[in-house]
A and B are shown apart, each in its own frame.
Chain A
């Protein structure tokens, strides 16, 4: 069974259920800025950082593309390879806009399953998300400690 690790614990249960039901290989839940809230399936911090940065960049690029076309932001983006598929979607919660990046193996899951259970994941995250409060002031001195705490949470150290 794939373990889900979360920096923000309210994401843990919805994401664990999603990973199980959708048969996802890798899942990353993050903000549009690339800040990771939870992950499943990754074993190295460098992979999480690369995936979150690239995922955030794709969301930013496609949002801008949609804006230039005079359209609302895309609801989802999918890429299918020979053995794996990648699905990226952004949605609003009380915690702000969140982005989910899902990698699935084609012989274990499908785009249909990934999308189907995403609806449930979004509903569960919306129900569980804390209400937006006043943003905490980030001090340089705290930044490294918070970053290390987040990485420790994401990799169970």
Chain B
């Protein structure tokens, strides 16, 4: 979807280089559509994007209701992997799909770095 030479492609490239990352996506927060993706075969990017953006909206409301402000990073750990998400700017989400034994700190760092560069 994105070329490795585009800014989005470069950002995703850095995230997917981390060992254990099975894919990364830039998702439009408002409509839940994929803006750019680098995913391994078998990952349904459209479904992950739609559900992650829906979850982001609900989490945002929960955080604000709890007086905690907007979320900066979330980590959903499952039996066979994890979903790591960082809001990027006003309208985007950076999403990483990882294996269970991934270095979460390193992926988080790359996601935050990509978000800062405006991916």
Contact = CB atoms under 8 A, between A and B. Distances in A.
Interface of A: 23, 80, 85, 106-107, 109-113, 115-116
Contacts of A85: 31
A121 B66 CA distance: 36
Contacts, number: 37
A112 B31 CA distance: 6
B33 interface: yes
B50 A116 contact: yes
Interface of chain A: mostly helix, strand, loop or mixed:
mixed
Interface residues of B, number: 13
B30 A115 contact: no
19 contacts: A23-B54, A80-B31, A110-B32, A110-B50, A110-B53, A110-B57, A111-B31, A112-B31, A112-B32, A112-B46, A112-B53, A112-B54, A113-B32, A113-B51, A115-B33, A115-B50, A116-B32, A116-B46, A116-B47
Contact of B57 (A107, A111, A116): A107
